[in-house]
Amino acid sequence: MNPFFEQVYGLVEQIPYGSVVSYGQLARMLGRPRSAREVGWALRCCPDGLPWQRVVMKDGAIAGGICADMRRALLEAERVAFLPDGRVDMALCRWLG
């Protein structure tokens, strides 16, 4: 497995229930600030049981194409706060790691 992907998975496992991070934030936390897209690729093929829904875009928008509605439902079940326009309230829910 790709070593960077393994690092991404290890960090995503640590995101607390009810909190979110952005793809870019994860990349910076791993010392690769220009690798937000690679974080996204890692999450496209992540292991079962990983809380992938807790990773959102930097403005709180939910990525995921056909999985976006499911991702939002999972976050709502965790009581993640949303703004009126449907984005996650990053000011309230961002995990600072």
Task: Name residue 22's beta-bridge partners.
Answer: 56
The whole-angstrom separation of Cα 92 and Cα 7 is: 26
Which amino acid, one-letter code, is at 63? A
Q: What is the DSSP letter of 46?
A: P
Architecture of the domain delimited by 3-89:
Orthogonal Bundle (1.10)
Residue-wise pLDDT tens for the chain (97 aa)? 799 999 999 999 999 999 999 999 999 999 999 999 999 999 999 999 999 999 999 999 998 778 889 999 999 999 999 999 999 999 999 999 8
Q: Give the pLDDT confidence score for residue 40 in this predicted structure.
A: 94
Stated pTM of the model? 0.93
Where exactly are the structural domains of the chain?
Answer: 3-89
